[in-house]
Amino acid sequence: MPSLSTAAIVCAVRHHGEHGAIARLLTPDHGLVPGYVRGGRSRAMRPILLPGNAVKADFRARTEDQLAGLTVELAHSRAPLHAEPLPAAAIDWSCALTAAALPEEQAYPALHQALDGLLDAVEAAPAARGWAVALVRYELLLLAELGFGLDLTRCAATDKAQDLAFVSPRSAAAVSRAGAVGYESRLLPLPAFLIEGGMGDWGQILDGLRLTGFFLERSVLTDRRADVLAARERLVERLKRAVA
């Protein structure tokens, strides 16, 4: 990819050298793309290279194997959200998850659209319940896009699609109330909104985060737990305090 001009979402930034930064951006058609931003640590660039910001990105590289030079222009700032504890935690986690989980330069257009929608929901909602369901759905979609999707179509025990209420941690398949009798404590609760749509109450939302978190930790973030999952733990703790 010698050159690329595209819209993108800033997902992760790390210092490189005395003044520069390496940014990893999620693009609609090329997936997660890294680039070196000259002067990326400057006062002018720091507000632009914030996770969650929408930018116009220009990548330029001499060869396919070279890290591209990157210039960015701000298209939409979500900087004010970083001053609010819950929205900031949601942005930090969703962008960190994206940057850690996705292989580079593989297209995931559904994930780009979903992440953009999640960030819009965080920006628009007056309270966390307005975007927490979208966060659970984003995590579920990411699992599916990476080949670790949950089968929530029918019961693994009875093969029926009715009254699904749990997920097997072993098979990642749904289990009905009838099929779960005697094994409820070994299963993960399945919130109704993941089957029926709509919004969930806080108990269901926390169940949803527990469900997706289990499979993300087991299947996706196995070698990056300490740094990436810490952002999720901060978010979940803040949500629990908000609804206590």
Mean pLDDT within 145-157: 96
Q: What percent of the chain has pLDDT over 90?
A: 79
27-36, 37-46, 148-157, 190-199: range with lowest mean pLDDT: 37-46
The whole-number pLDDT of residue 108 equals 97
| Residue 70 to residue 79: CA distance in whole angstroms | 20
Is residue 93 over pLDDT 80?
A: yes
Position 39 scores a pLDDT of: 85
The mean of the pLDDT values for the chain is 92
Q: What is the pLDDT of residue 226?
A: 65
CB 101 within 8 Å of CB 221: yes
Could you say which of 3.40.190.10, 1.10.10.10, 2.40.50.140, 3.40.50.300 is the CATH number of the domain covering 3-77? Answer: 2.40.50.140
pLDDT at residue 225 in the model: 64
Q: Domains of the chain: which residue ranges?
A: 3-77, 82-152+190-243
Q: What is the mean pLDDT of residues 181-210?
A: 94
Q: What residue type is assigned to position 20 of the chain? A: G
pLDDT of residue 129: 84
Q: What is the mean pLDDT of residues 129-144?
A: 95
Model-level pTM?
0.93
Model confidence at 76: pLDDT above 80: yes
Give the separation between CA 120 and CA 128, rounded to whole angstroms: 13
Q: What is the pLDDT of residues 213-235, one digit of tens each?
A: 999 999 999 876 667 888 899 99
Segment 95-125, tens digit of pLDDT? 999 999 999 999 999 999 999 999 999 999 8
- The neighbouring-strand residues paired with 76 are 54
pLDDT band (50, 70, 90) for residue 3: confident
pLDDT one-digit tens code per residue, 9-52: 999 999 887 788 999 999 999 999 999 999 888 888 999 999 99
